[in-house]
C-alpha cells in the first residue's frame, strides 16, 4: 500500500501479466505480489500493476503533525519511572533553571540488502533460507501460516546483508511462505528499495523535555526530564550524574507508522538529549565539559575511566585546530560503559565535517578485541549517518522517501578517522554492537557548539 494503514480494495493484473517473464499476479495479506522468472521482470510487472487502495484515517498525516503531537505530549504529566529527592520542589524554588527540548526523527534501517527470503512450502515440511535476527519467531510464523508443526519448519540462516534490528521482523518471511504455499513451488521474495524505505519498521520519533536547577557554583541541584514517544523508545534512561534531586516521567504516544528496534533502541535517543543537556549545564556554569562531567561522576569509576581515556585519545587538553571544535559524551547501555569525543569543523555554507572520533569502551572482559573494534567502527558509521543525514518524512499519509537519493546515507568520503581503545578488565562481558551508536550524535552536536556557538537540539544536525 502506498499510504499508511491502507488496504487493498481491488487490482487488475492484466498489464503486469503482459510483461515478458511474469507468470502470475497474486493477492497476499500485505498487498499484491508479481511473480516472475527473474527480479527485473517482476519489478517491471509491479510498475504497471493497476491497484486501488482503501483511504484510511492517516491520509492527511504529515511530519509536522507528528512532531506537534510529541510536543503536546510533553505538556502532559507522564508516568513516573525514576525518582530520588524532590526535583519538582527544588526547581520551583531555584534561582537558576536551565530548560531545553530535544527531538529525534523517524529513521529507516536502510540495510545493504533489502528484505528478502526464499521459501519452499511442501505438504509435510517448510524450508526457509533467510538472513534473520530471530530464527525462533521466523519458525513460529511459518508454522502458523502453514499449519505445520514447528519441528517441520527448517530455517537456514544466511548472512544478513545488514540487520540493525530490521531483521528481527518477519513480514517479508510471511510473504514468502504465503506465496510458496499458494503457488506450490519455491519462491524468493525480494523487496525493492522503495518498498524497503516506505514499509520499514521505523525507529520512532521521540522528544524529551529537560529542566535543571544550578547552585551558585554551577552544580545541578535538581534534574527533571519527561520523555515522549512509542513504547519501543521509552527504555529506562541512564543519567549517572550525582544530582541530589531527580525525576523522570514518560508519556506514551502511539505511532501511526509501524515502528521497531533500531540499533541502540531507546538509548540512542535518550543519550542525545542527556549528553547534550549536561553540556548545556557545563556551559551555563562556565566549566570545561569534561571536568564538569568528571566532577559529577566521582562515584562512577567506570564512567570516569572511559571519559578520561577518550579525552587523552582526542587530546582534549590541547587547543583544537583553528575553526574546529571538540565535543564529548559518555553513556552506559547494554552492559557496557562507552565514551566518545568528536572533532568537527563547519563551513560558512553550513556544511558539517567530522574529522575524527575517539571512542573508549569498558565492556568487561574483552573476548575478541578485533571484533569489538569492528563493531565500534561500524556503530560509529551508522550513528554518524543518522546524526548528519537521515530522516523519514511523512506527506499526505505516505512516507516521502523512496530511494537513497531522497534518503542519503554517509558516504566513504565523509567518514572520519576513528580511534578505538578497549579498557580491559575481568568484569562480566557486556555488549559491543549497540553501545557506540548512542554517543555519536551528542559528541558531534557538542563539538558543533564548541566550534560555532550554535546549540542543535534536533536530529539530523543541520546548521
Residue pLDDT, tens place only, 194-219: 999 999 999 999 999 999 999 999 99
Q: How far apart are CA 71 and CA 81, in angstroms?
A: 20
Average pLDDT, integer, range 291-304: 97
3-state helix, strand, coil in the chain (%, to 5): 30, 30, 40
* 403 pLDDT higher than 90: yes
Average pLDDT, integer, range 109-115: 96
Average pLDDT, integer, range 297-303: 97
Non-local (6+) Cβ contacts of 172 within 8 A are 115, 116, 117, 189, 191
Strand 153-157 vs strand 126-130: parallel, antiparallel, or unpaired?
A: parallel
**CA 306-312-317 angle, 5° bins:** 125
Predicted TM-score of the model (pTM): 0.96
Q: Is 12 helix (H, G, I), strand (E, B) or coil?
A: strand
Strands laid side by side in the 417-422 sheet:
324-333, 336-346, 352-362, 417-422
pLDDT tens readout for residues 342-394:
999 999 999 999 999 999 999 999 999 999 999 999 999 999 999 999 999 99
Q: How far apart are CA 40 and CA 13, in angstroms?
A: 17
* 302 pLDDT higher than 80: yes
* 255 pLDDT higher than 90: no
**Per-residue pLDDT at 297:** 98
* 461 pLDDT higher than 90: yes
Compute φ and ψ for 351, nearest 5 degrees.
-80, 125
Phi/psi class of residue 26: alpha, beta or left (left: φ > 0; alpha: ψ in -120 to 50)?
A: beta
pLDDT tens readout for residues 40-69:
999 999 999 999 999 777 888 999 999 999
SS (H, E, C) 91-140: HHCCCCEEEEEEEECEECCCCCCCCEEEEEECCCCEEEEECCCCHHHHHH
Please give the mean pLDDT across all residues of the chain.
97
Phi/psi class of residue 122: alpha, beta or left (left: φ > 0; alpha: ψ in -120 to 50)?
A: beta
Average pLDDT, integer, range 16-35: 97
Residue identified by cell 511474469 is 22
C-alpha cell at 300: 562512577
Identify the CA nearest to 259 among candidates 204, 189, 309, 310.
204
**Per-residue pLDDT at 57:** 79
Amino acid at each position: 500500500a502506498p499510504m499508511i494503514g491502507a488496504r487493498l480494495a481491488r487490482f487488475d493484473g492484466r498489464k503486469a501479466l503482459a510483461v515478458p517473464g511474469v507468470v502470475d499476479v497474486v493477492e497476499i495479506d500485505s498487498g499484491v505480489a508479481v511473480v516472475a522468472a527473474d527480479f527485473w521482470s517482476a519489478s517491471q510487472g509491479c510498475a504497471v500493476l493497476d491497484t486501488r487502495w482503501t483511504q484510511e484515517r492517516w491520509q492527511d498525516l504529515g511530519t509536522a503533525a507528528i512532531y506537534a503531537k510529541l510536543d503536546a505530549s510533553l505538556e502532559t504529566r507522564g508516568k513516573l519511572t525514576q525518582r530520588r529527592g524532590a526535583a519538582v520542589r527544588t526547581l520551583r524554588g531555584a534561582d537558576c533553571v536551565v530548560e531545553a527540548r530535544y527531538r529525534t526523527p523517524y529513521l529507516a534501517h536502510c540495510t545493504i540488502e533489502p528484505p528478502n527470503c526464499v521459501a519452499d512450502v511442501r505438504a509435510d515440511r517448510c524450508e526457509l533460507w533467510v538472513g534473520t535476527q530471530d530464527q525462533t519467531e521466523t519458525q513460529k510464523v511459518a508454522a502458523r501460516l502453514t499449519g505445520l508443526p514447528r519441528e517441520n519448519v527448517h530455517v537456514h540462516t544466511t548472512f544478513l546483508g545488514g540487520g540493525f534490528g530490521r531483521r528481527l521482523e518477519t513480514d517479508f518471511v510471511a510473504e514468502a511462505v504465503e506465496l510458496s504455499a499458494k503457488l506450490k513451488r519455491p519462491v524468493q521474495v525480494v523487496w525493492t528499495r522503495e518498498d524497503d524505505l516506505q514499509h520499514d519498521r521505523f525507529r520512532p520519533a521521540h522528544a524529551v523535555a529537560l529542566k535543571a536547577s544550578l547552585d551558585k557554583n554551577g552544580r545541578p541541584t535538581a534534574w527533571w526530564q519527561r520523555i515522549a514517544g512509542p513504547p519501543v523508545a521509552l527504555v529506562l534512561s541512564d543519567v549517572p550524574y550525582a544530582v541530589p534531586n531527580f525525576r523522570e516521567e514518560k508519556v506514551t504516544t502511539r505511532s501511526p507508522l509501524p515502528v521497531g528496534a533500531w540499533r541502540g533502541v531507546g538509548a540512542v535517543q535518550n543519550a542525545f538529549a542527556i549528553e547534550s543537556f549536561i553540556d548545556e549545564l557545563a556551559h551555563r556554569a562556565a566549566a570545561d565539559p569534561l571536568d564538569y562531567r568528571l566532577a559529577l561522576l566521582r562515584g562512577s569509576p567506570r564512567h570516569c575511566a572511559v571519559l578520561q581515556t577518550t579525552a587523552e585519545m582526542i587530546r582534549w587538553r590541547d587547543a583544537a585546530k583553528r575553526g574546529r571544535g571538540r565535543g564529548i559524551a559518555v553513556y552506559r547501555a547494554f552492559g557496557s560503559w562507552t565514551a566518545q569525543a568528536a572533532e568537527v569543523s563547519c563551513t560558512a555554507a553550513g556544511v558539517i565535517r567530522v574529522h575524527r572520533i575517539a571512542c573508549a569502551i569498558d565492556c568487561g572482559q574483552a573476548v575478541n578485541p578485533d571484533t569489538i573494534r569492528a563493531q565500534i567502527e561500524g556503530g560509529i558509521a551508522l550513528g554518524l549517518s543518522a546524526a548528519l543525514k537521515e530522516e523519514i518524512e511523512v506527506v499526505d499519509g505516505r512516507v516521502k522517501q523512496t530511494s537513497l537519493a531522497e534518503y542519503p546515507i554517509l558516504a566513504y568520503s565523509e567518514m572520519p578517522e576513528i580511534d578505538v581503545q578497549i579498557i580491559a578488565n575481568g568484569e562480566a562481558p557486556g555488549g559491543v554492537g549497540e553501545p557506540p551508536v548512542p554517543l555519536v550524535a551528542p559528541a558531534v552536536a557538542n563539538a558543533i557548539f564548541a566550534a560555532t556557538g550554535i546549540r542543535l537540539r534536533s536530529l539530523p544536525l543541520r546548521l
